Amino acid sequence: MRARFALPALAAVAALLLSGCVDNTTPADGGSSAPSGGSGITKDDAAAALVPADVASTGKLVIGTDAAYPPNEYKDPSGQPIGWGIELSNGIAAKLGLKPEYQIADFDNIIPSITGGKVDMGESSFTDNAEREKQVDFVNYYNAGILWASQVGKTVDPDNACGLTVAVQSNTVEDTDELPAKIKACTDAGKATIEVLPYSSQEEATNAVVLGKADALSADSPVTLYAISKTDGKLQPAGKSFDVAPYGMTVKKGSELTKAVQAAMQSMVDDGSYGKILEAWGVTDGGIKTITINAATNG
């Protein structure tokens, strides 16, 4: 995820939901009402030809995901991963002529699983940064910013947050980078600090604002917009997105699979299937036209 670090192993994410406030699940009848803009994607022979022999011989693309960050990646009632990031991954596999196979894991274990050869690709809203690029390659597919939300009718300015209480999902960039920097700015200026309420799931962080336990929440822009949409008009955006950075699919450093994934995703952009997925999930604002590799260091 955008705000999470993949270096030390951290506490496991528990997908807990406070009842009666926010519902990020699909219907309990076992069916999914989640949008699907990625059906009908077909193999791209040029992209498939780039797949390393050891991966091609298995006939599958093993994908690691945390599946706890709706709407990007989360679980349906049967525990299967869904979300627009998952649909993009399914499309990549289809373009490469492979069958997607998901391994749901704690976020902090995904990159070690890639470097250790246990999974082929990671899809979990990874933010591409220079530190992570020392471990894995990134195939960049989306630009996400940070966006705050507050209760409807309550004015909150993320640039003037001293004295506020802010809820976040723990171990996200918002938790580890953004808010500590804002706290330092407040205390350096002799102002009241910001109280941070970290939660193990985004649902809990959202509920904290709905219930008035926090003045605002901070999360990746598509996550915040989705959270707002699931609160029946109780929350609103607080300001605009800022600190925009690229998401990337993660692949083993130096692997030929990196260029195969890039070619597959570019094929999806070119044939329109990429755009249809983003449109179906309401996250078109961060879409890009050119799929790049390691944008954090290559520009």
Tokens 């690029």, residue located: 133
Q: Which fold has domain 145-243?
A: D-Maltodextrin-Binding Protein; domain 2 (3.40.190)
Which residues of the chain are under the pLDDT cut of 50? Answer: 2-32
Written as six digits, the tokens of 45 are: 């022979």
> Which pTM value belongs to this model?
0.80
pLDDT recorded at residue 37: 65
269: left (phi over 0), alpha (psi -120 to 50) or beta: alpha
pLDDT recorded at residue 35: 75
| Comma-separated ranges of CATH 3.40.190.10 domains in the chain | 45-144+245-298, 145-243
Show Cβ contacts of residue 162 under 8 Å, excluding neighbours closer than 6 positions: 182, 185, 186, 189, 191, 192, 193, 194
Alpha carbon distances (Å) from 211 to 153, 167, 202, 228, 251? 14, 12, 14, 14, 40
pLDDT recorded at residue 291: 98
pLDDT recorded at residue 220: 93
pLDDT recorded at residue 173: 82
| Domain 45-144+245-298 in this protein, CATH class | alpha beta
* Cα–Cα–Cα angle for 288, 90, 295, rounded to 5 degrees: 35
Alpha carbon distances (Å) from 68 to 150, 272, 274? 22, 27, 22
pLDDT recorded at residue 261: 98
